[in-house]
Chains A and B, each alone.
Chain A
Amino acid sequence: MAPMDFQLTEQQELIRKEVAALARSFSLDYWLEKDRKAEYPWDWVKKFAQAGWLGMLIPEEYGGSGLGVTEATLMLHEICAAGAGTTGASPIHFYLFPPLPVMKHGAEALKRTYLPRIATGEITMSFGVTEPNAGTDTSRIQTKAELRGGRYVVNGRKVWNTNARQATHMLLLARTAPRDAAKPFAGMTLFFTEFDRSKITVREIEKLGRAAVDSNEIFIDGLEVPEADVVGQPGRGFYHLLDSLNPERIFTGIEAVGIGRAALERGVQYAKERVVFDRPIGQNQAIAHPLALAWAKLESAELMCLKAAWLFDHGKPCGAEANTAKLLAAEAGFEACDVALQTHGGYGYAKEFYVERLWREVRLYKIAPVSQQMVLNYLSEHVLGLPKSY
């Protein structure tokens, strides 16, 4: 019988401790200011780059550390639990899952060109898959790449392109053959290429949270991509991309858990310190129980994230677990932030108590990278075997 072991290795414990120490050297006021001024946290990213954290998943022969999704999950948890929120996590997680298709399917030359520069943080990435007219139905993307004399010429539009204001490079999915109803996911090609601003127009989308890290609509007009920047096989791009989608669900799930923990820490502290009617408010069960329940739900969601990460790192299928992790984590993270805000009463609504920023940020995870409803569709169809509804 295979051993069942919840014990982290000594190295994983050290990763957890040191990421926490580094992340907590940035104060909650730092994040509040970044959010208020909508400033990209460059000094934060540089600190993580200098200490080598960005290259965590990149193999050692390409300048990284060759660790697994489990270690990256532990890192993102500590980043978010430190109060950095989505504002701090997003700039880091873009070094984790977008390079995965390059690592797994990219040609040797492509890997040599890009992976070492990703590991050092020299490259800043954007992820270009979603389109305004396709949404989760990725097979209907309309961005086209046509091969002309050894170069692809790309035209189209992408939406929810994170980091496009800073990006030097982009992972881009485009149709290289028309959609065939019999094989809708074939005929798309994945590129890892330079973000050429002379051919791409960026329009920022103002949003509920994470003002410091931009989300955008981008318009691509005649972007030229060398053939060498194709990731894997032309026409198989969607399938190559799938390898990064489960880690993306795990990473976003654990971020929601971490944000929930940061909010809960604030809420619990406030419940201990705030005295009304001659007692700390945390002595009232109406305050204590929701906090306790939020903790319990965060624990179980974290376990699910780590199980999915373990499955992925052991090369086992993890679609059901990664989706479930994201579903439960988004609920648990939101609930923890909401309870923490409620515990603060009126002050919860004030920026200087820090929870409102986390509350706004954590709401994202019920929508992205895939909505709760689409996760339930996935589970209904692929786990329970129920007929597809759409």
Chain B
Amino acid sequence: MKILVAIKQVPDTATQVKVGADPRLIDTAGITWIVSPYDEFAVEEALRIKEKRGQGEVVAVSLGPERVKEALRSCLAMGCDRALHLNDAAWNGADTLATARALAAVIKQEQPQLVLCGRQAIDDDMGAVTAQLAELLGWPCASWIMEEAVDAEGTTVRAARQVEGGLEVFDLPLPAVLAAQKGLNEPRYPTLKGIMGAKKKEIRDVKAADLGLGAEPSQLSVVGLEALPPRPPGRIIQGDVPTAVKELVRALREDAKAI
């Protein structure tokens, strides 16, 4: 079974993001880039499906500038067989729909039986690409999945998705798109052998022309980014406990109107 995993390179979760000189962009100076954590669940699940079936191929795909190769190399170190890098100026500033179109085009070429993604990227938290991709392909889609099981013939997948207070279980015919939620699995750390092997695996550059696509203006344009206003300082109520509690209750009721 051939599985394609779409991943996104995002700033490390520990990064304190700043608005850049162009206020529509973040300042990327000094940022450490990682594979978006939800996408790591997707990579791990794809590798597990392959290992369980004893055969198959896992292909990692990402769209973005040259630095995205580092993220793809990490996926290869985890065990993906090869990678495709959608790397073209035509996709600069691509919104989710343009990204989904590019991914759909590469998926039509690759013809995997299953596409896995993270439920959303942790940078802009849009969470739109998965659904757009499935729509463009005309494939069924289940998102926020916590469990999955591909049947022995590789024709259907049973997926359980997280809903309030429980799991909702679906059967989907393959090919299909699944989006991983935290809890699906615990991603592996690459082994040293995996890291050394990653060097020999292929990361192929894919241009828009290779997919029969041209430059596509984004339909979604970012107007500006604004930092959150600084949090107002807290207030410490002084005095002995009975008086302080009275003042606290008064302040919660009258000033904050919280009770």
Q: Which residues of A contact B (CB under 8 A)?
A: 10-11, 13-15, 17-18, 21-22, 25, 47, 50-53, 55-56, 65, 67
Contact = CB atoms under 8 A, between A and B. Distances in A.
Given A11-B199, A18-B77, A52 B191 contact: yes
A11 B195 contact: yes
B73 A65 contact: no
Given A11-B198, A14-B73, A14-B190, 6 more contacts: A10-B73, A10-B199, A18-B189, A47-B189, A65-B192, A65-B196
A18 B191 CA distance: 9
Contacts of A14: 73-74, 77, 190, 195, 198
Q: Give the secondary structure class of B's interface.
A: helix
Interface of A is mostly: helix
Interface of B: 70, 73-74, 77, 189-196, 198-199
Nearest to A21: B189
Contacts of A21: 189
A51 B199 contact: no
Contacts of A11: 195-196, 198-199
Contact of B192 (A10, A17, A52): A52
Contact of A51 (B70, B191, B198): B191
A65 B196 CA distance: 8
Contacts of B196: 11, 65, 67
B77 to A, nearest CB: 6
A56 B192 contact: yes
Nearest to A17: B74
A13 B33 CA distance: 13
A25 B189 CA distance: 10
A21 B74 CA distance: 12
B233 to A, nearest CB: 11
B189 A15 contact: no
Nearest to A14: B195
Pick from B73, B196, B199 the residue with the most CB of A within 10 Å: B196
B73 A51 contact: no
B231 to A, nearest CB: 14
A278 B74 CA distance: 44
A47 B189 CA distance: 9
B193 A22 contact: no
A354 to B, nearest CB: 17
Nearest to B198: A14
Contact of B195 (A18, A47, A50): A18
The 5 closest A-B pairs by CB, nearest first: A52-B192, A52-B191, A51-B191, A22-B189, A52-B193
10 contacts: A10-B73, A11-B198, A11-B199, A13-B70, A14-B190, A14-B198, A22-B189, A52-B191, A55-B192, A65-B193
Nearest to A47: B189
A51 B196 CA distance: 12
Contacts of B190: 14, 18, 51
Contacts of B199: 10-11
B126 to A, nearest CB: 26
A51 B187 CA distance: 13
A11 B70 CA distance: 10
Most buried by A among B74, B190, B198: B190
- Interface-central residue, B70, B74, B190, B195, by most chain A CB under 10 Å: B195
B189 A51 contact: yes
A50 to B, nearest CB: 8
A18 B189 CA distance: 7
Nearest to B74: A14
A21 B199 CA distance: 19
Contacts of B70: 10, 13
